[in-house]
């Protein structure tokens, strides 16, 4: 399995999401008349964050559709995290 490629795809998805979220935050509404303090922002910060998250998810879905190793590698990572979290809970209960 090509783990490095999967990591690169996650990084690309994160960067795309961040950049598109920042771009959405820069979008302003047009002012009819005079705008004393500049044009108001079109989206709130949380809305820009959701736009960025949505774009990152779209990139991840596209990666899963285009790369056949992406899903098995991701499942392997989730299983490893689940084992680690499960192992620490068992140790705490036993101790």
Q: Where are the domains of the chain?
A: 3-31+38-94
Q: What is the mean pLDDT of the chain?
A: 80
Residue located via tokens 């303090």: 37
Mean pLDDT of 24-52: 76
Residue located via tokens 């998810």: 57
Cβ neighbours for 22, distance < 8 A, ≥ 6 positions apart: 48, 52
pLDDT at 87 over 70: yes
pLDDT band at residue 32 under the 50/70/90 scheme: low
Does the pTM exceed 0.75? Answer: no
């Amino acid at each position: 399995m090509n783990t490095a490629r999967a990591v690169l795809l996650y990084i690309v998805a994160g960067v795309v999401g961040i950049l598109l979220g920042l771009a959405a935050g820069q979008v302003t509404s047009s002012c009819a008349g005079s705008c004393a303090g500049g044009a108001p922002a079109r989206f709130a910060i949380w809305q820009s964050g959701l736009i960025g998250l949505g774009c990152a998810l779209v990139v991840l879905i596209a990666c899963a559709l285009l790369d056949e190793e992406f899903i098995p590698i991701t499942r392997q990572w989730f299983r490893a995290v689940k084992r680690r979290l499960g192992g620490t809970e068992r140790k705490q209960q036993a101790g």
